[in-house]
Structure 1
Amino acid sequence: MGHCNITVLLPPFDVDARTLPANDPARAAELAATLNTVEEVLEEIGPRSVHDSVPYLYARTDLEIVQTAVWGHVLGISDPALADSGNDLPLLSEARGLRERYPDARIVGRVGFHCGAAHTEDIVWLPDGAMFHAAGWPGDEPFEVTGDPGAIASALGIPAEALEDLGLDEEDPADIEWADFAALALGEADPWGIERIQTTAFRVRHTEFATSTMEELYFTG
């Protein structure tokens, strides 16, 4: 997998991830319990670096591990149930639930999963309701884009040069690295590339639907 995370950025938005407070494990547990994919939080496993947030799954028990964090007014989520092969759009579903709970937040998610071919899903959702969502098979069809990335970029003050580097005006949507666009939407608030920043790992019982979907995705054959 490439990325597998959601960031919920509450006001104020001009934050540098390098200055975030330490994760609050108790609030992280509360966050984990609210996820659409989670039926019950079973136990706290302990702290993990954000660099360990991409799931490496060797056994079915690895599917039970999610990571969440509450760094002050910035929330982080990593869950193997966010991966998809084009059927269910779990990232969009989770973002909708987060949007209901945190209507003033900027919600940014990016997930990349390789199941014979790469499948990606990326989302940027702003407090005013403007939303951009892209999902599909990079370089191939089907690839679906909802919303105007240019309008999102303008609202966030993303420089035109950065959009040109992504090929936003010229490339087919299926050829654009939308995870890079999501990174631009987070800017300096992006915590996922800073190794010393920690989440809390939990063993959970996922919903029956999430569990069956993950088993099919990760352990087919």
Structure 2
Amino acid sequence: MASNKFSGQVWGRNVETRFAFSGKLVSLRKNAGDSVSKGEIIASLDRQILQADLDRQLAQNQQVRADFEIFNIRFKNPGDDITRYNKSSQQASLDASVKEVEQAKYRLDQADLTSPVAGVILDMGGCAVGLNVAPAANSVIILDTVSVIFRIKIEPHECRRFANPVKLPVDLPKLGKKIFGQASLPKMLAGGDWVVDLTADELKDLPVGLEGVVEVP
């Protein structure tokens, strides 16, 4: 291949997202291959179970709080060790109940799985309506389309050829088309390879891994 041509491919960052806790999946709004906006709901857990748990925790909290207030009325100034211990125990029970309510509210708020980025869903992680999903077993993988670029690998001595970033033609033989991408300054990756990334609006619609050739004047 001529020295003014550089092989490369479409590259993009995959983002993994999952429910914060286990539960029964009752709604699936997206599937693999679907586009998704940042913050858009992908799937939802059963809210009835979560709401029932919150209601139970709230009722229990009211009872614990009432017991605590009654104790304080009866023993405003506990003078012996046993009474002071009982008051500390009542306070600890109230604190624990408050935390249980907060956790139940958090679980209800997290019943919807939303996309952290704008992109395309690559894998639904086995999610299906009626399935009991778990964070460790069911993760959704999304291609972050904002991150999609065309990347070419260069040798260190070729960096000077890209000292002035310009738009360069990217030939995509498999698609029979050519696009123009804005080249970045050369950068070295963690593994020691030098690369140049090209950005273009058309890239977000192309499959990751698609090969092409960049021609440098």
Normalised TM-score (structure 2): 0.18
User: Which is higher, the Rg of structure 1 or of structure 2?
Assistant: 2
Higher strand share: 2
